[in-house]
């Protein structure tokens, strides 16, 4: 009897999901148009996800124009705390997607974008052999306003598809938006550093992959990487969906 009730319950769950899909269709992450039930993207839109497979900086993964150079202008001659990072997709057709994912209440995009990122960077994710994935945190006030942390949704999808545990309790953002505008580079760095705190002194994880939605200057990722290394982490890698023009 119980199994019949369970089966009916499960069946009703599926019916309810389908009904919700019909009334509030899931939106395509690329064009924001409605999707057929059960679909994550339009087949024609999927073609706009162009993976970065060559001409990228060997340190941060950002595309570089000069096909001969190994490092981008930011990474050449600069010490980085992170070991290596990769950017999964070209920015051109994703700029609006990234904006909506962050600012227009589209947490649902994360499942697809994370799956595609895990797929595109399968080789690196396996090679790095990390103990955990950690999303770049946002301040709790911001999360309350936005309703979610897009990096966290993304990290969970990547973790699910790459079979790597996701840890969200270790790194906290304790300052909402540091006022960086009027500061010199050293003051900026210090200000950013004070924005993040670890919840334990001695981190047991040895290899970590940080996840963020978009790479701009890399200073946030590098700050968190430095903090982790100061507390016992040996290697810090990162992945982002794309890299903005910043």
In this structure, how many other beta carbons lie within 10 angstroms of the beta carbon of residue 95?
Answer: 12
Query: Closest separation between CB of residue 202 and Zn ion, Å?
Result: 31
Q: With respect to Zn ion, which residue has the nearer C-beta, 69 or 198?
A: 69
**In the range 62-101, which residues lie near Zn ion by CB under 5 A?**
72, 75
Out of 60, 158, 221, 224, which residue is the one contacting Zn ion (CB under 5 A)?
60
Out of 26, 49, 52, 59, which residue is the one contacting Zn ion (CB under 5 A)?
59
By CB under 5 A, which span of 22-30, 102-110, 125-133, 169-177 interacts with Zn ion? 22-30
What 163-167 contacts at long range (C-beta under 8 Å, 24+ apart), as own/partner pairs, is 164/125, 164/130, 164/132, 164/133, 164/209, 165/131, 165/132, 165/133, 166/132, 166/133, 166/134, 166/135, 167/132, 167/133, 167/134, 167/205
Count of residues in contact with Zn ion, rule CB under 5 A: 11
28 scored as a contact of Zn ion (CB under 5 A): yes
In this structure, how many other beta carbons lie within 10 angstroms of the beta carbon of residue 40?
Answer: 16
Query: Closest separation between CB of residue 71 and Zn ion, Å?
Result: 5
Strand runs (DSSP E) across the chain, as ranges? 84-89, 132-135, 171-173, 196-198, 207-215, 235-243
**Cα 166 → chain centroid:** 12
By CB under 5 A, which span of 54-62, 104-112, 134-142, 197-205 interacts with Zn ion? 54-62
3-class DSSP state of 133: strand
Q: With respect to Zn ion, which residue has the nearer C-beta, 62 or 173?
A: 62
Query: Closest separation between CB of residue 193 and Zn ion, Å?
Result: 20
On the CB side of 228, CA atoms within 13 Å amount to: 31
The Cα–Cα gap between 79 and 89 comes to 25
**In the range 30-49, which residues lie near Zn ion by CB under 5 A?**
30-31, 33, 42, 45
Query: Closest separation between CB of residue 74 and Zn ion, Å?
Result: 5
First and final C-alpha spacing in the chain: 61
Task: Tell me the per-residue interface mask from 199 to 238 with Zn ion, x by CB under 5 A, - otherwise.
Answer: ----------------------------------------
By CB under 5 A, which span of 19-27, 57-65, 124-132, 220-228 interacts with Zn ion? 57-65
List residues near Zn ion by CB under 5 A: 28, 30-31, 33, 42, 45, 57, 59-60, 72, 75
């Amino acid at each position: 009897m119980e199994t019949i009730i369970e089966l009916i319950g499960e069946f009703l769950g599926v019916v309810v999901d389908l009904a919700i899909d019909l009334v509030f269709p899931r939106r395509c992450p690329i064009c924001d148009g409605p999707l057929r039930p059960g679909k994550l993207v339009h087949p024609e839109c999927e073609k706009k996800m162009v993976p970065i497979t060559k001409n990228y900086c060997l340190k941060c993964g950002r595309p570089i124009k000069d096909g001969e150079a190994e490092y981008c202008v930011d990474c050449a001659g600069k010490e980085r705390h992170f070991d290596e990072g990769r950017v999964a997709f070209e920015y051109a057709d994703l700029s609006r997607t990234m904006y909506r994912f962050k600012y227009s209440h589209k947490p649902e995009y994360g499942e697809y974008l994370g799956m595609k990122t895990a797929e595109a960077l399968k080789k690196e994710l396996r090679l790095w052999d990390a103990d955990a994935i950690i999303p770049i945190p946002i301040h709790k006030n911001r999360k309350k306003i936005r309703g979610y942390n897009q990096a966290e949704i993304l990290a969970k999808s990547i973790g699910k598809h790459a079979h790597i545990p996701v840890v969200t309790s270790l790194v906290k953002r304790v300052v909402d938006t540091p006022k960086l505008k009027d500061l010199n580079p050293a003051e900026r760095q210090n200000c950013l550093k004070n924005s993040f705190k670890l919840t334990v002194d001695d981190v047991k994880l040895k290899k970590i992959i940080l996840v963020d939605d978009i790479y701009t200057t890399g200073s946030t990722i590098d700050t968190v990487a430095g903090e982790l290394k100061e507390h016992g982490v040996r290697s810090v890698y990162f992945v982002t969906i794309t890299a903005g023009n910043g």
